[in-house]
Amino acid sequence: MESIIRLENVSFSYKINEKTKVSVLKNISFSIFPGEYVAIIGHNGSGKSTLSKHLNGILTPDSGDVWVHGHNTKDVNKKRSIRQAVGTVFQHPDNQIVATIVEEDVAFGLENIGVPREEMKKRVDEALNVVKMSQFRHRPPHHLSGGQKQRVAIAGVLAMKPDCIVFDEATSMLDSFGRKEVLQVMRKMNNMGMTIITVTHHMSEAAEADRIIVIEGGQIVMDGPPREIFKHKLELENLQLEVPSVSQMAEVIHRKFTTFSKDIIQESEFIEEVEKFHKAEVGT
C-alpha cells in the first residue's frame, strides 16, 4: 500500500546560535499508511513535537527526507498541498482560535485558500457536525470550555479535508471530560477513514490507537500494536513511561485471582472482564 507519510533517515537539530546546536531527531525512518490510527509516545523532551512538525513540513530535516503523498516536504512548491493533506491540532486551544464567532473560525482556513462560498458553508456545516458543535456555531469561542474550543479547532482542520490529522498533545490542557470528547472525535474521524496521528503522554489514549510508536532521545525504540507495546512494562518504565492504569489494576487482581485476565489495555475491556469474573464467581 502507498504510504501517506514516509520518513527516511530524518535527522534534525535546533540551532541555538552560530556555534551551538541541539540534536533532537536522529535518523528516524517510518511510514504512515492510509486509515491508520497511530499514537506517538515518549517522555518530555524526547522529540515528539519536533517530529510532529516534520510530518507536514512545518520543520524540514537537516538530513534525510519526509515524503507526503510522494512529495518531499523540502519542495517549496508543494508546501501548500502538503499542509492541506496533513493538518495539525496543537496543545493550546486558545492559540488556535482566530475568529470571534465559532463558524467564522472554522471557515478561516477555507477563506485563505479561496474556497467558494457555497462549498465553504457546506464544509463548515459538516465539520461542526462531526465534532458535535453545530449548536454553538454563532457563539464566541472564548465562552466555550477547553474541550469545546479544541473541537472547534479540530473542525477548522477537518474543514480543509485533510487525509491525515496530527494531534500534538491536543488533550493535555483538557479535563477528563474534555479529553473524552476529543478522543471520541478522533475515533469517529478514523472510522470515517481519516488517518490519525496522536502524540500523547496519556497511556489510556495511546491504548485507543491501532499502532504505537515509542520515541526516546529522538530515536524510535518501539513500534507495534498497543497490546504488544504494553507487554514491555519494564522497558517502558526505563523510558519513564507506564502501561495504562487499567493494565496495572488488572495485573494486581490477576495476582490474587488468576482467572482474571491481565491482558487488558482499555477501560472497556476491564469492565467486560469484571462482568465476566463476577458471573463466573457469583454465578449470576
Ligand X SMILES: Nc1ncnc2c1ncn2[C@@H]1O[C@H](COP(=O)(O)OP(=O)(O)O)[C@@H](O)[C@H]1O
CB nearer Mg ion, residue 120 or residue 166: 166
Computed from CA positions of residues 74, 76, 80, 81, in that sequence, does the dihedral angle turn out positive or negative?
Answer: negative
| By the rule CB under 6 A, 23 interacts with ligand X | no
- Binding footprint of Mg ion, residue count (CB under 5 A): 2
Angle between helices 176-191 and 117-130 (to 10 degrees): 120
Q: How far is CA 69 from CA 152, 197, 232, in A?
A: 27, 16, 33
* Contact stretch for ligand X (CB under 6 A) within 37-45, 118-126, 184-192, 206-214: 37-45
Pick out residues in 39-58 that bind Mg ion (CB under 5 A): 48-49
CB nearer ligand X, residue 148 or residue 171: 171
Task: Give 25's contacts (C-beta < 8 A, 6+ positions apart).
Answer: 10, 11, 12, 47, 50, 51, 54, 61, 218
CB of 47 to ligand X, least distance (A): 4
CB of 165 to ligand X, least distance (A): 17
| By the rule CB under 6 A, 195 interacts with ligand X | no
* Contact stretch for ligand X (CB under 6 A) within 1-9, 47-55, 74-82, 124-132: 47-55
CB nearer ligand X, residue 148 or residue 200: 200
151 and 107 Cβ atoms separated by less than 8 Å: no
| By the rule CB under 6 A, 45 interacts with ligand X | yes
Query: 37-41 and 211-216: which strand pairing?
Result: parallel
Q: How far apart are CA 153 and CA 197, in angstroms?
A: 16
Q: How far apart are CA 31 and CA 66, in angstroms?
A: 10
* Contact stretch for ligand X (CB under 6 A) within 45-53, 56-64, 144-152, 271-279: 45-53
Name the residue type at position 72: N
| By the rule CB under 6 A, 88 interacts with ligand X | no
By residue count, the chain amounts to: 284
CB of 136 to ligand X, least distance (A): 30
Q: How far apart are CA 267 and CA 44, in angstroms?
A: 25
Query: 195-199 and 164-168: which strand pairing?
Result: parallel
* Candidate list 4, 5, 10, 24; residue touching ligand X; CB under 6 A: 24
| By the rule CB under 6 A, 212 interacts with ligand X | no
Q: How far apart are CA 55 and CA 5, in angstroms?
A: 7
| By the rule CB under 6 A, 48 interacts with ligand X | yes
| By the rule CB under 6 A, 22 interacts with ligand X | yes
* Contact stretch for ligand X (CB under 6 A) within 40-48, 125-133, 146-154, 276-284: 40-48
Site residues for ligand X per CB under 6 A? 14, 22, 24, 42, 44-50
Contact residues for Mg ion, defined by CB under 5 A? 48-49
